[in-house]
Amino acid sequence: MTDPLLALSPVDGRYAGHTAALRDHLSEQALLRHRVVIEVEWLIELAGEDSVPHLRRLSADEIAWLRAVAAGFTTADARRIKEIELSTRHDVKAVELYLRERLAGTSLADVVEWVHFGCTSEDISNLAYARMIRDALDRVWLPAAEELVDVVATLAREHRALPMTGRTHGQPATPTTVGKELAVFAHRWRRQLRAVRGVEHLGKFGGAIGAFNAHVAAYPDVAWPSIARRFVERLGLVWNPLTTQIESHDWLVELMHAVQRFNAVLRDFVGDMWLYLCLGVLRLRPVAGEVGSSTMPHKVNPAAFENAEANVALSSGLLDTLARELPVSRLQRDLSDSAKLRAFGTALGHSLIALRSAKAGALRLVPDERATAAELGGAWELLAEPVQTVMRKNGLADGYQRVKDFCGGGVDRERLHALIRSLGLPRQDEQALLELTPATYVGLAAELVDALTSADAMAESTSDNSRKALAANAARTSPDTPAGSPPASRNNPATTG
């Protein structure tokens, strides 16, 4: 890895510590490793197919050796492929030639011509990318997103009943609670995470134009679509039967849109936290040794939220470009998608930086109870709403306008109570309004935070069921699951290459 100080992109430079885990899944080396996995598994698939008689069966030791080549893929192996690419000027052909090198001089030397049999480069690459992106989400991005949501949900529960002034159009409005406002974000995020998890990761495997032309020329009576479907599903993906040379990327657009929506909620969250800190509703726990300003010693800046805001904007901008461009491919294919796909790691990297920055900021948030109490204590005008509403309930004419006119003269406790007593309301309604304060006029805000817990439990149950179904589907004929062994988890590295 280049010294982070020399990196062109901050994703691999300044923020390398945040994004290092993505390198195992979305780097160039990861792409080469996954391509090797696909090539190896296709050779194993063909060798086990009775309808392809010219390729002999592989022994258990040979299959284990082949899979070890993929599982033990190193930086030195990646460099060798790049050396070959200098001559081929074709990245996937370089992977094929690398495997032919590895097979030479072994018991598998007689099957080298079957490496990459019937394949176009996109048969290999689209499956490699689908698995890379799936693993990057499952193992890195989703856990980081869930950590942020859990932190905010915990804060919501801790402060479920702490009243604060609500604001609409930036102006003081109906009171709410700190917990309820935080719970809104956690609830919105949970929904988008379900959308991310629910996207089907598609794969194609149909040759140069997606019609199995070369396959049929060699073996016209073989059920190639069935073999392709079995192979793609064995890799833990969903088979796409109708494609051109490339998989159409529509599933990836769906995924990027789901991540964009999560990002949008994140942008809204960090913006609101910044404003609450400005308003004094929240404050940040100081960190020993941290400097907020090079000249103003008192400063504790919301830098984590500002950093998250910047990175989420970069992530969503890239994702928007990719989602708009990737589905477009001239005729049966052009090469433009190849360069674009390589930018997905950068887009997800910026989102990951934003997630971790927002989490770091959220962990330092502390409500300023004295500030919120002081603000509400002098805001008796916020009770204009319940007064006019109870007037409407009891049929008093022009309740809204009468209270609006009253508020024009300024509102304090004494004046408001005098108004309430002058209205001639039923005794029960009058007493309820007289007992109400800005701090107690919070409706069901605290109780609604409990709905977050119920929604989370329901979402987790649904998510668990989805993950189990996907794992069972992939494990039925997984190349990494020996016959007779129990199905492996979708998140087990042994089943995902």
pLDDT at 6 over 90: no
pLDDT interval class at 202 (50, 70, 90): very high
Higher pLDDT, 299 or 328: 328
Interval 322-364: pLDDT, tens: 999 999 999 998 989 889 999 999 999 999 999 999 999 999 9
Radius of gyration of the chain (CA): 30
Span 290-294, mean pLDDT?
76
Strands in 230-372 per DSSP E: 238-239, 282-284, 365-367
The whole-number pLDDT of residue 106 equals 96
Nearest partner of 175 among 313, 33, 281, judged by Cα = 281
pLDDT interval class at 492 (50, 70, 90): very low
- 35-39, 90-94, 440-444, 487-491: the lowest-pLDDT one: 487-491
Span 416-439, mean pLDDT?
97
| Residues with catalytic roles | 169, 293
Give the sign of the dihedral formed by CA 429, CA 433, CA 439, CA 442.
positive
Task: State the pairing for strand pair 202-203/171-177.
Answer: unpaired
Q: Which residues pair with 168 in a beta bridge?
A: 171
CATH 1.10.275.10: which residues of the chain?
4-118
pLDDT interval class at 36 (50, 70, 90): very high
CATH class of 4-118: mainly alpha
The whole-number pLDDT of residue 457 equals 58
The whole-number pLDDT of residue 298 equals 79
Interval 41-79: pLDDT, tens: 999 999 999 999 999 999 999 999 999 999 999 999 999
The whole-number pLDDT of residue 497 equals 34
Interval 73-85: pLDDT, tens: 999 999 999 999 9
CATH 1.20.200.10: which residues of the chain?
122-368+445-496
pLDDT at 455 over 70: no
Give the integer Cα–Cα distance in Å for 369 and 415: 26
Task: State the pairing for strand pair 238-239/202-203.
Answer: parallel
Span 147-174, mean pLDDT?
96
- 297-311, 345-359, 478-492: the lowest-pLDDT one: 478-492
Architecture of domain 122-368+445-496: Up-down Bundle (1.20)
Q: What is the mean pLDDT of the chain?
A: 90
Residue written as tokens 């726990």?
285
The whole-number pLDDT of residue 491 equals 34
Give the integer Cα–Cα distance in Å for 310 and 350: 9
Architecture of domain 380-435: Orthogonal Bundle (1.10)
CATH 1.10.40.30: which residues of the chain?
380-435
**Helix (H, G, I), strand (E, B), or coil: what is residue 474?**
helix
| Structure token pair of residue 374 | 């002081």
Span 456-464, mean pLDDT?
56
Give the integer Cα–Cα distance in Å for 240 and 232: 9
The whole-number pLDDT of residue 299 equals 77
